[in-house]
Structure 1
Amino acid sequence: MTAATGDEAFLLTERQCSAILDAVGERPQDGRVLRAFLATIALAALRPAEALALRVRDLELSDGGPNALLVRPQGRTGHRSGISEAEAVRSVPACSDLVAILKAEITRRGLGPDDALFTLDEGRPLTGETYRRVWKHARAAVLEAHGIDSPLGRNVSALRDACIAAWLRNGDQTAAHIAAVAECAGVSAPRLAERFSHCLRKPTPAEVPWDRLEAAFRLPTPRSEPMTTARRP
């Protein structure tokens, strides 16, 4: 994740995300694959390195059911923590818009199951240097002058942050909901709540269960026992 700002003013809006993706997609060279790559970050909250590592087989399609992306651990994280690679793989929901974008890219380039989802049109690997340069130009073309000079969307991971924030806002924000979002994002729930505290709704005084809190912290009533007088030997 990007460094915490504590202010949702530095989160890209849905309109800004869409405008930047459209600007990237209009590039005559590699525009479509770069747009698909960035859309995967924006719609599935993947880290850029996780999106780059995706292969066609990692797109799980279900007839009439939910679709998902299988995100595999990067580096040797799973081995260091004693968790197998299979156990460390996480399943991230893939919305219909993202599925349509990825399927179109697979068809356009005739990709097979073991092929990388995102490579440049000439077949060369998509690198961080390439997508960061394209992102910088698209951001400058979309944002207003005061936004360009601000931290707003400075890094590609801003798309991931915007997606996570939307997931948090569009739910009941219970502990179970926050835990589910954290699992999809691949972070711990406490870290997520700290980083995106400004996206969480604060309860009003009337919503706080004061009676249950009082009962939970109430000390037990001491038992009244008769005092015994010590006898001298």
Structure 2
Amino acid sequence: MQEDRGLKGRPRRAKRPVPIPSEPVAILRGHIARYGTAPDGRLFRTERGGVLQASAYSRTWEAARCLALTPSQVESESARRPYDLRHAGVSLRLDAGIPATQVAEWAGHSVEVLLKIYAKCVDGHDHVWHGMLDRALGDDAG
């Protein structure tokens, strides 16, 4: 059964723009050019235009993982569920140095929730932060 609801804690018709890199944009545009969308705008649908059931997503996702990942990655927890890609996307943005306030807005979280869930994603980068601080203070020798 497909959920028909708005974003959590927001008006039903609220939208949240989330930028994505140009390569996935090109892939999505190619998919839409080739297959179109359902009348309600959905990208993925049954052959007759109906709503895909959760089990169809699960089977397709499992097959895609086997094609796209190495055998050891398939055995790992990497992208076990499609929802895991959300975590990966948020983690990537934080790891790239995008400010937590911006990432939180795109993810639909408060900064507090974002950092509680994803704080470990920015661990191990002390050398990066030290370099940024040195450059901000005008010490290019770092």
* Matches of 1:98 and 1:150, distance apart in 2: 24
| AA aligned opposite 2:55 | E
Amino acid at match of 1:198: K
| Between 101-110 and 180-189, the greater mean CA deviation after superposition | 101-110
- Does 2:69 correspond to 1:131? no
Q: Shift of the alpha carbon at 1:110?
A: 4.0
Give, in angstroms, the shift of residue 161 of structure 1.
Answer: 1.5
AA of the residue aligned to 1:168: L
2:9 is aligned with 1:73: no
1:38-91 CA distance string (max 9 Å, x none): xxxxxxxxxxx89xx7xxxxxxxxxxxxxxxxxx824xx44xxxx5335x4211
Secondary structure of the corresponding residue to residue 17 of structure 2:
strand
Output the TM-score relative to the length of structure 2.
Answer: 0.67
| CA–CA distance in structure 2, aligned partners of residues 123 and 112 of structure 1 | 6
Q: Distance in 1 between matches of 2:40 and 2:16?
A: 19
Determine the C-alpha separation between the residues in 2 that align with 1:108 and 1:181.
32
Unmatched segments (≥5 aa) in structure 2? 134-142
Structure possessing the higher relative contact order (Cα contacts under 8 Å, 6 or more residues apart): 1
Measured in 2, the distance between the counterparts of 1:189 and 1:103 equals: 32
Quote how far apart the aligned CAs of 1:168 are. Answer: 0.7
- Measure the CA separation in 1 of the matches of 2:77 and 2:28: 30
Shift of 1:180: 0.6
Q: State the partner residue of 2:119.
A: 197
**Distance in 1 of aligned mates of 2:55 and 2:38:** 26
Deviation at 1:114, TM superposition (A): 4.2
Amino acid at match of 2:116: E
Q: Name 1:152's counterpart in structure 2.
A: 78
Q: 1:130 Cα deviation (Å)?
A: 0.7
Alignment CA distance shift 1:113-1:97 (3 Å): farther
Contact 2:37 2:44 in 1 (8 A): no
> Number of paired residues?
127
* Per-residue Cα deviation, 1:192-219 (whole angstroms, up to 9, x for no partner): 2122222214647xx5x9xxxxxxxxxx
Q: Structure 2 CA distance, aligned partners of 1:115 and 1:194?
A: 34
Matching residue of 1:120: 46
Structure holding more strand per residue: 1
Superposed CA RMSD? 3.3
- Give percent identity, aligned residues only: 33
